[in-house]
Amino acid sequence: MVEMLGSVRLRIAAFVLLIVAAFAALGVYVVRQVDSDMRANAEAYLGSQASVVANAVRPLLEDGAPQPAIDALVKRLGAGVDSRITVIAADGAVLGDSETDPATMENHGDRPEVRQALATGEGAAQRHSSTLGVDFSYVARTVFAGGGPPVVVRVAQPLAAIDSTLSDITRSIVTAVIVTGALAALLSLIVGSAIVRPLQRLAVAARNFGSGDLKGRVSPRPSGEAGEVADAFNQMAEDLDEMMSSLSEERSRLRAVLDSSSDGVVALDAEGSVTLVNRAAERLLGRQEDLLGHSLAWALPDDGALRAVQASREGKSRETAVVEQSGGRSLLLTVEPIADGGRWVSLLVLRDITESKRLEETRRDFIANVSHELRTPLASIKAVIETLQSGALDDKAAAQEFLVRADAEVDHLARMVTELLELSRLESGQAPFTKEPVDIGPVLSRAVERMRPQAERKGLRLDLDIAPGLPTIVGDAERLEQATVNLLDNAVKFTPEGGSVRVSARLADAAVEVEVTDTGIGIAREKLPRIFERFYKAGSSQVDRGTGLGLAIVKHIIESFGGTVSVDSTEGQGSTFRFSIPVADS
Ligand code: ADP
C-alpha cells in the first residue's frame, strides 16, 4: 500500500516534469523560429534599402563625382533612415559612410559581404562590426556605372533590436514555463493528495481490520471513485463483522452444548495434540492444568487408549477401549476418525461407566444370590417328598413331621418371594409412597404393639421411649412403621429369652433419630459394613432362617425420605440399629 501511494506521487511528479519539458521545448522552437524569421525580414528590408541607395549613388558615379560628394550623399541618405550606409570601392577603399568619416576607416575589401557582392553582385553577413563594436546585419549590392570598376553599396543595421525582441520573447516563455510548471505542480499536489488521502484512510482502516477491529469503518466517506471503494470496503467490514459474530455465537452455542454433555469430548489434531476439550472431559481426566496443546499420552496415560487412537487413525475406523483409572473409576473411550480438510483428526468421547458396571455386577450377584437362596428350601422340600414317597407316608407320625418341615420351607419361600417383590417394588418406584408430615411417636408405638406378642412369647422386655415435643418429619407413616417392624423383628429374633428390646426417639441435629437397641447376640465387627446388603446374613444359615432382605428394605425406605441408617454392635452384648430423618421445614 505504501509503495502504491509512493508511486501515485511519483507518477504525478513525472507528469509535471513532462509538462514543463514540453513547454520548454516549445519555447526553444518558437524562439528559434522567431529569430530566423526576424533575421530574414531584416535582410529583405536591408536589401530593398540597398537597392534604393544604389540607384541614388549610380548617377554620381556615372558623372565621375569626387569622393567627398559621394560621402556627402551617403550622409544625407543615412540621416533619413535608421540604417548605416557605406559605399566601398572595388579595391576596398571606403568612399562614403553615413556615420563615420571614410578617411578614418580601414580597407573594407576583406569584409565577407563585400567580397561576396563583388563576386556575385549581392552579399550578406551578420557579424561583429570592427568599426562600431556591435553585432550588425549587413547586405551589400554592386553598382556598375560608366564602365569603371564596380562599387559596393552596403546597408547595415545593428542586431541589438532583434536580440532584445528575442530576449523579451524568451523571458516571456521562461516565465510562462515556470508559472505553468508551478501551477501544474500545485494542481497535481492537490489532486495527488485528493487521491492519496482517501487511499491512506483505506489503508488505515484495512490495517485496523487486519488486527481484528471489525467495527472500524472508512470515515468520512471520500468522494468519487475512492468513495465507491470505501463503500465496498465498509460493506465488506459489516458483512465480515456479522459473519464473525454469528460464527462466535455458533461457537459459544457449540461450547455450551459440549460443556453441558455428561460425556467427555476431546479432539486431537493430526499430530495427536489436544485441540478441544469440554468440561466433562476435564473432570473425567482429572487434570488441573489446561489440557490444550498437550499430547494425549500426557492427558490420558493409558496404553489401551493410545492403542485405540492409533488403530482408529490407521484404519480410519471407530475404536473403543475401556480405561480403568486409579480410584476404581472405569471410562469407556470411543475414538472416531474425522476428515478435516484432507487431514485426519480424532474425536474422543469418554463415558463414565463406573456406575453401570457396578449395577451390572450387582445384578449378576443378585441373580446368583436369589438362585442360591431358592435352592436350599426347594432341596429340602424335594427331600421331604422323596422321603414320603419312599415309605414315610405309611408312618403317620413321621409323615406329619415331614409335612410340618415342608410347610415351614414353603413359608420361608413365600416370605422370601414377598420380600423380594416388596424390595423390587420399592426400588422401581412402583410402591405407593406419600411424602407428608409425620408425627413419629404414634408410628413407633404402632410398630411396638405389633411386635409385643412375639416379644412376650420369648419373654423379652419391650420398651418405648419417645422424647417429648418431637417435630414432625416428612415421610410415609406406613413405610416408616414397616421399617421399624423389620428392625424390631430382628431384635426379637436375635435376642435370647430374658433379654430386652428398647425403641427410643429423640431430636439430634435437625433430624429425628430412632434407635432400636437389643441385648441380643450382636454382630461380628467385620460383618457390620455389609449388613444392609441384600441377602446378607451375618449368622450361619442353620441358626438364622431369615431372608437377608429385611435390612435392605429398611435402608431403602429411610433413604427415600432423605435419611440415613447405621448400626453399632458388639458380639455377645447386643446391637443398636439407628435411622435418622431430617425434620420437616416449618
Ligand atoms: P433377615 O431376614 O435374615 O433377618 P436382615 O436383612 O433383616 O435379614 O438381617 C441381615 C442379618 O443381619 C441377619 O441375618 C442377622 O445375621 C443380622 N442381624 C440383623 N439384625 C440383628 C440383630 N438385632 N442382632 C444380631 N444380628 C442381626
10-residue averages of pLDDT along the chain (586 residues): 62 82 86 88 89 88 86 89 89 90 88 90 86 84 84 89 84 86 83 78 82 80 81 87 92 91 91 90 84 87 92 92 90 91 87 90 84 87 90 86 90 89 83 86 96 94 95 93 95 94 94 96 92 82 70 93 94 96 84
Question: Considering only CA atoms, which of 227, 172, 169, 173 is closest in space to residue 197?
Answer: 227
**Whose CA is closest to atom 4 on ligand 1?**
546
- In angstroms, what is the span from residue 279 Cα to ligand 1's centroid? 45
- In angstroms, what is the span from residue 408 Cα to ligand 1's centroid? 19
Torsions phi, psi for 502 (to 5 deg): -135, 130
Please write the tens of the pLDDT for every residue from 120-163: 989 998 888 777 778 888 999 998 877 778 899 999 988 887 78
- In angstroms, what is the span from residue 539 Cα to ligand 1's centroid? 8
Count of beta carbons in the 10 Å neighbourhood of residue 119 = 10
Count of beta carbons in the 10 Å neighbourhood of residue 440 = 23
Task: Please give the helix or strand (H or E) that residue 39 lies within, else none.
Answer: helix 2-62
In a mutational test of the pocket of ligand 1, which residue from 500, 537, 553, 558 has the highest number of ligand atoms less than 8 Å from its CB? 537
SS3 533: coil
- In angstroms, what is the span from residue 501 Cα to ligand 1's centroid? 15
- In angstroms, what is the span from residue 451 Cα to ligand 1's centroid? 16
- Rounded to whole angstroms, the Cα distance separating 296 from 527 reads 44
- Specify the ligand 1 atom closest to the Cα of 522: 25
- In angstroms, what is the span from residue 178 Cα to ligand 1's centroid? 122
Q: Which three cell numbers stand for residue 488?
A: 424390631
CA 58-62-65 angle, to 5 degrees, is: 95
**Whose CA is closest to atom 17 on ligand 1?**
538
Look at the pTM and tell me if it is higher than 0.85. no
Please write the tens of the pLDDT for every residue from 382-434: 999 998 898 888 888 888 998 998 998 999 899 889 888 888 888 887 777 78
CA–CA distances in Å: residue 373 to residues 97, 266, 407: 168, 47, 17
- Specify the ligand 1 atom closest to the Cα of 574: 24
- Rounded to whole angstroms, the Cα distance separating 517 from 49 reads 164
* Cβ-based neighbours of 316, under 8 Å, separated by 6 or more: 337, 344
Predicted confidence at residue 126, as pLDDT, reads 87
Predicted confidence at residue 495, as pLDDT, reads 95
- In angstroms, what is the span from residue 407 Cα to ligand 1's centroid? 23
Q: Which three cell numbers stand for residue 199?
A: 487511499
**Whose CA is closest to atom 9 on ligand 1?**
548
CA–CA distances in Å: residue 91 to residues 82, 108, 111, 153, 520: 27, 8, 12, 13, 179
Residues at CB less than 6 angstroms from ligand 1: 490-491, 494, 518, 520-523, 531, 536-539, 544, 546-552, 575
